[in-house]
Every structure is written in C-alpha cells, then in structure tokens.
Amino acid sequence: MKATTIYDVAKEAGVSIATVSNAINGKGKVSKKKRDEIFKVMERLQYQPSVIASALMGKKTYTIGLLIPDVSNPFFSEIARTVEDLAHSEGYSVIVCSTDNKDDRVEKYIRLLEQKSVDGILIGTGVENADILTQLAEKSLPIVMIAREAVAMPVHSVLTDDFKGGALAAEHLLGGGHRQIAVLSENFKVTSSYERVRGFRFALFEAGIAVDDESIISCDSSIKDGKRAAAVLIRGENRPSAIFCCNDLLAIGALQAAKEAGVRVPEQLSIIGFDDTILSTVTNPALTTVAQPMDQMVKLAFDLLIRSAENTDEIKQRIVMQPELIVRESTSTPAN
C-alpha cells in the first residue's frame, strides 16, 4: 500500500495542495475552518509529509552525521548518546559513522553524508587533509569538530585543554611522590594524545623529572594493545612506579598487565587514565583518570552546528574546556 501524499489529503479535504502545505507549515493565511478540516483529514489518513520531498525543495533533511573512531568504544558511545538525545529533542536524526581513525574512511563517509544532504556533520575523529572540509565549507555544509584539534580548518571546534589534562595527571603523580614514570600513548598522529603527552612531560620537566624515551610507548588504542605495551614496561629492568595512559582503554590494558604480572595496583604501581568513561568506574581498583566535560562539550558543539546552519560565514569559534582530575583507587604514593 502506498503512503498517503499531500494530494490525497487535499482531495479528501476538498482544497488544493497549496492550502494543505500552508496549513501544515503555518505559512500563508488559511481560514480556521479549512485548517481544522485539513488536520482532521490528515489525522484520519495518517498523513506524514515526506522528508525526502521537502528536502528536495531545499528544506532541511533534519539529519546530521556523527563521525567518530568507533561507536563501540565507550568514550564515543557516550558521546553518541548525548548527541542523539540533543538531536532528537530538536527533531533531528543522527547517522553514526565509525572511522577507526582511517583517513580514507573519513573521506568516504563525509562524501556519503554529503550525498545524503545531511544538515551538518559533527566530527570527533582526526581529519588529515583540510581540503575536504574547505570544500564542504564552500558548499556551506556546517561542520563542528569535537574533542579534536582543527588547526587551519574552516570549522568550529570545541575541545578540551589536553595539554592541561596531561599536566594535571603529572601533578597528581608528582604529588604522590612518583619519580619513575612511564607513558602509554595512542598513536601520536592523534593530536589529542600528542597534546596530553606533551603537557604531561612539560609538567614533569618543570619539576625537574625527565622521562626517557624508552619509557614512552605508543600503540593502538585498545585494551589488548595497551596490555601488551604495558607488559614490556612492567617486565622491563627498571619498572616505573607509575604509568600515565592517554585514555582509559590503555589504562585498563595496563591494569590487566599488572594483574597478570602479579604487581599490585596501586601499592606497587600507580596507573592513571584519561576520559573518565564508564569503564574507569568498573575496574577494580577503580581508575584514577582525567575527565573531559563531555556533556557540556557535546551540547556546545551541537548548538554551534545547528546555529551555523542558519548563520553561515560567521567567524569560526574554537572553544576549549577545562579537564578535571578524578581521583579513584588506582594511584597512590609509591611503596619504596
């Protein structure tokens, strides 16, 4: 059975389609009597305007895209959920795209979203070449980067002060008396991780502590890889008394490596994560970590996205939020 169209409603209500359209959108004047009649018919026929057709006439599609590395990663699935709630409350739907941080996927998905005429794209994954974003900007497709740096790109962005976050972690460890400290990082191409490590090292440097390069390991962002990398750190000849991990996944890997090696956390080894995902509350010991105010960030980013749909060529904003240290159980003063 075909869906009912505006023609069916018009015929049934004895008016023209223009009048039905006006009644629905509250545009031109429609007498109360006809309007009531039209709504009654719409109700009876279960009429629902086709978003497709009205999008073709240049109206919005009420759909936005969300680009993230991986929805099944708790950090991003929490973002996705917040985006979704915000979006739905304003009548939008969201198409989720997991890029696995692969550049070609980023590009492919952006093209796809463009073809589908989304009203905007929220990007929470790294973007290599600014070209594609410039093209979209020219087509005035709103884009907002979230939790990722976007230097020299024609887009709004809202992110955390990752450098500061790294420093926060360093200060906490320093305060606990740690001197032998290692770092577990995601691939340095991920700017947020790079900044975190930079901030971390800077704070240590200021305190007169050096981190030798062998104690900084970078690997893929997964529990498994974190575990493997942490294992070599732990088995190494001068085992660190603390490990700073660029995200919670890596920190959990480290926790597992420690457990397997029989070293107790936090008594023999302190571990600190980043992101404050649900995972960090679930481990035992619970993970000390650095939190980003994600809900606020997402809200800001979403508003920016929707607003910039109306108000294009406005100056691109770069909003940076402050991270916060969340002390739980995985860190302490070193035993020695």
The first and second tokens of residue 78, run together, are 């929490």
Nearest Cα residue to 226 out of 204, 201, 246, 205: 246
Handedness of CA 15, 20, 26, 32 (dihedral sign): positive
264 near a second copy, judged by CB under 8 A: no
Listed ranges 23-31, 161-169, 208-216, 251-259: which one lies at the site for a second copy (CB under 8 A)? 251-259
The first and second tokens of residue 297, run together, are 């960030």
Burial label for 8, CB within 10 Å (0-12, 13-18, 19+), is middle
Among 12, 22, 240, 287, binds DNA (CB under 7 A): 22
Nearest Cα residue to 245 out of 224, 267, 220, 274: 274
- Looking at the Cβ atoms of 56 and 335, the one nearer to a second copy is 56
Site string for DNA, 43-82 (x = CB under 7 A): ----xxxx-xxx-xxxx-----------------------
- Looking at the Cβ atoms of 238 and 281, the one nearer to a second copy is 281
Give, as one character, the DSSP assignment of residue 324.
Answer: E
The first and second tokens of residue 167, run together, are 């420093």
271's enclosing H/E stretch is strand 270-275
Among 43, 104, 138, 310, binds a second copy (CB under 8 A): 138
Contact set with DNA (CB under 7 A): 2-3, 5-7, 14-19, 21-22, 24-25, 27-31, 33-34, 47-50, 52-54, 56-59
Contact set with a second copy (CB under 8 A): 1-3, 48-53, 55-56, 61-63, 70-72, 74, 77-78, 80-81, 84-85, 88, 93-98, 109, 111-117, 138-140, 223, 252, 255, 259, 278-279, 281-285
